[in-house]
Amino acid sequence: MNPQGSGRFAPSPTGDLHLGNLRTAILASAWARATGRRCVLRVEDLDRVRAGSTERQLEQLAQLGLHYDGEVLIQTSRHAAHLAALDTLANKGHLFECFCSRKDIREAASAPHTPPGHYPGTCIGLTEDERAQKREEFARQGRQPALRFRAPVDTWEIFDELHGNYTGPVDHVVLRRNDGAIAYNLAVVVDDAFQGVDQVTRGDDLLSQAPTQACLGSALGLPQPIYVHVPLALNEKGERLAKRDGAVTLPQLTELGVEIPQIIGAIAQSLGLGEQVGAARSLEELLDVLDYETLKRMPLEPWVFSGI
């Protein structure tokens, strides 16, 4: 138990939340509650934002019965803190300028020593003269280089409640894009620490990013959270559930006459944790039976959604 810590749910305001998002939101609250933590909410609006999405998502979470501790944090309000973190990393020698185009990275990343999807390290070893020349070329074109994380190690170990100790490669991720915008990997680490988040519950498609984020947090002198990477919701084709898969959002389902208890019930049954969990028809009922030992037994297979 950690009564001082927090779990969190951190959606991006790109549209209505679908059932996979809502399932993860419920699990984030359940894991926080089962381990004596608060649960906080953050809107991650650094990238694409659809007008009105934030308000609609907050309404949908409340409709489901989810409530959060403290005020909702809007990520773009934290710009000064993100810049300060960049300064800290620069002072510690953990930043380098990247002049690569996407094409450069795509072609170089085919090298056998580079983990799939990771930066191949093209600009790490540039001499000061080479960097100065590239800066001058960029300046003439009205451009600026991106800033990447100069990772101090190749791999990092994290602990995940469902996956155990997990060691993965650390990527030299972009922290400030070449348009000057702060990148997700920096903001998520800085803002989790600011909100007291020591338990990160999210989709298991992000498990491979956890070692890089934990290493980045360490470079900033921040405590490392415990992770809970939960299975995704997929459609019947085995593809990630999306709004194109028919009635999968709360507004779509309620318009068809599906009521909140049915939605809670479908999510409860998706957890495959036995009769008691599957019989839940309200959020409170579900959270009451999702204690720590029950949550630890949750299946790691994705939820294949075929309708309610």
Domains and CATH numbers, the chain: 80-184 (3.90.800.10)
Q: What is the mean pLDDT of residues 27-41?
A: 98
Long-range contacts of 50-57 (CB under 8 A, 24+ apart): 50/13, 50/14, 50/15, 53/13, 53/14, 53/15, 53/16, 54/13, 56/16, 56/251, 57/11, 57/13, 57/16, 57/17
Instruction: Pick 104 or 227 by higher pLDDT.
Output: 227
- State if pTM tops 0.95: no
Cα(275)–Cα(264) distance, integer angstroms: 14
Q: How confident is the model at residue 28 (pLDDT cuts 50, 70, 90)?
A: very high
Q: Which residue has the higher pLDDT, 274 or 6?
A: 6
Burial of 38 (0-12, 13-18, 19+ CB in 10 A): buried
pLDDT-based confidence at 110, cuts 50/70/90?
A: low
Q: What is the mean pLDDT of residues 62-80?
A: 96
pLDDT over 90 for what percent of the chain?
A: 79
DSSP state of 257: T
Mean of the pLDDT values across residues 207-223? 98
The angle, 0 to 180 degrees and rounded to 10, between the axes of the packed helices 19-34 and 53-64 is: 60
Instruction: Find out whether 46 and 13 touch, Cβ atoms under 8 Å.
Output: no
143 strand-pairing partners = none
For the segment 108-122, the average pLDDT, to the nearest whole number, is: 78
Please list, in sequence order, all residues whose beta carbon lies within 8 angstroms of the beta carbon of residue 306, skipping any fewer than 6 positions away.
Answer: 236
Please report the pLDDT score of residue 82 as a whole number: 98
Q: Give residue 89's Cα distance to chain centre.
A: 21
> Mean pLDDT over residues 270-291, rounded?
93
Sequence-distant (≥ 6) Cβ neighbours of residue 5 within 8 angstroms: 37, 38, 196, 197, 198, 199
Integer angstrom CA distances of residue 251 from 46, 113, 118, 254: 25, 47, 38, 5
pLDDT at 81: 98
Categorize the per-residue pLDDT at 306 as very low, low, confident or very high, splitting at 50, 70 and 90: confident
C-beta of residue 258 within 8 angstroms of C-beta of residue 308: yes
Distance of CA 249 to the CA centre of its chain: 20
